Structure 1
């Protein structure tokens, strides 16, 4: 578009057109002129673009090489146009690739834990920031419930970790890092009410699920000598910890269960390994355990692997899950296989996350990849 044509286009109309373009195009258009560079770099423009476009994608990171793939799961998995590669992870040291874990995703940013370092990274822009170490002297051998989310009331991002004592295997403290304050804060977990442990033996706890401005984990709650299956919740705005009950009729080992967002609801999936079915439950009214409803019982006889871990669902209701290795599986809401495609040839597998393309910056100074 030449300068004369741009001058004839009303400014407000030009902004509305730009707000509906993909991030990759907008980054290129920063070079068009100083005014476009200023507009596209503006915080208000980035926030409006995120709200209007809201383009979710699946991110794959090869475990041994950190090779990346970004997939538009609303398109066919076999559509080359929907797959983009060469996202920049050059800020990571090659010797640390095998220690890399994805611990959360929020508003375009991925929380990477590459022991012992933690990073926030925007795959769309390449922006990254290393998070300083916590000053609270946590044990190097402890396990953590990790999570990452956004507090809209303060325009702040929080990295959350709840320590599981390596001796007692019970939670002992919760700490979070505020991006806006650029500081760690600690919340002591006292009394019997907040005594939680990892339900999956010999494995690190799964990253927390971000939903409704809160982070959610499946855990065991210790009540006297009893163990209860619960969902532990950290409210990002209230900075408070509480828990919610699972469905009353729910009778599954937490080893074969997980949390995800199905449609617009907090959801729970559970695999029955004996009869090869998957139950899907949704909480129709948030924070109301009585509203749990079993919506699907799926048979996965046609699946390419026995592994099941759903990531998301498409607008049409198809379910996207990982194959437990290097690819994605798409099935319909009856459990019938639609597509299966691998994106890496890596014997060590891949790390996977859902993220949303975004121009948004963090509320602090950072490093640029």
Structure 2
């Protein structure tokens, strides 16, 4: 309900440098207000992927490592490794959201496997990953899920049809929506 965006911040990431800028300053063209943040991760040649943000927590992936970071406090947590073949981290697709049904944050990762496209969920409270099934229609083409209405959503195209695949966070069940009109 805050329409002046006083408490909204943007992260600006470039070549391992991370800055923060208020959305209000950006909207009012006060671009010199970006502040350098103490980024706690080493980035050599790896790509920094912002998986998602929720309640001030930022979920990031750098190659095979996934982190939760609170830029305001500087605290961070490295998640346990997901068991997958080494080269599959290039084909991983992520999601990050808050599950209000259990008052916990969840990270979702999908990657190619012998059974198709494996889906695993990490919960912050348990600090562990668990396999919940296979992603329908192969690997989603985008690298992050969109959180909306208590679920993460990905778009998938298969045989000229577009699909929306959702993961209900509370039930941890994948739902395949009907094929959407490809036009």
**TM-score by structure 1 length?**
0.43
From the two aligned structures, give the one with the greater strand fraction.
Answer: 2
CA-CA distance at 1:151 after TM superposition: 0.7
Which residue number corresponds to residue 150 of structure 2? 213
Q: Which structure has the larger Rg?
A: 1
Which residue number corresponds to residue 34 of structure 2? 84
Distance 1:177 1:54 in 2: 32
From the two aligned structures, give the one with the greater helix fraction.
Answer: 1
Distance 1:75 1:69 in 2: 11
Which residue number corresponds to residue 137 of structure 2? 195
Which residue number corresponds to residue 167 of structure 2? 234
Number of aligned positions between the proteins: 177
CA-CA distance at 1:188 after TM superposition: 2.6
Q: Structure 1 unaligned runs (5+)?
A: 1-52, 200-204, 252-369
Mapped contact 2:147–2:153 kept (Cα < 8 A): yes
Matched, 1:61 2:13: yes
Given the alignment, which residue of 53, 56, 65 partners 1:117? 65
Given the alignment, which residue of 62, 85, 95 partners 2:44? 95
CA-CA distance at 1:180 after TM superposition: 0.7
Q: Structure 2 unaligned runs (5+)?
A: none
Matched, 1:186 2:117: no
CA-CA distance at 1:148 after TM superposition: 0.5
CA RMSD of aligned residues (A): 2.7
* Correspondence list, 1:199-278, <5 A: 199=141, 205-221=142-158, 226-245=159-178, 248=181, 251=183
SS in 1 for 2:13: strand
Which residue number corresponds to residue 87 of structure 2? 141
Distance 1:61 1:124 in 2: 16
Do the aligned partners of residues 113 and 146 (structure 1) sit closer, same or farther apart at CA in structure 2, a change above 3 Å counting? same
* Correspondence list, 1:285-304, <5 A: none
CA-CA distance at 1:228 after TM superposition: 2.3
Distance 2:173 2:162 in 1: 20
Do the aligned partners of residues 187 and 94 (structure 1) sit closer, same or farther apart at CA in structure 2, a change above 3 Å counting? closer
CA-CA distance at 1:179 after TM superposition: 0.5
Distance 1:132 1:206 in 2: 20
Mapped contact 1:61–1:68 kept (Cα < 8 A): yes
SS in 2 for 1:141: helix
Distance 1:244 1:57 in 2: 34
1:234-275 CA distance string (max 9 Å, x none) = 111110101224754x52xxxxxxxxxxxxxxxxxxxxxxxx
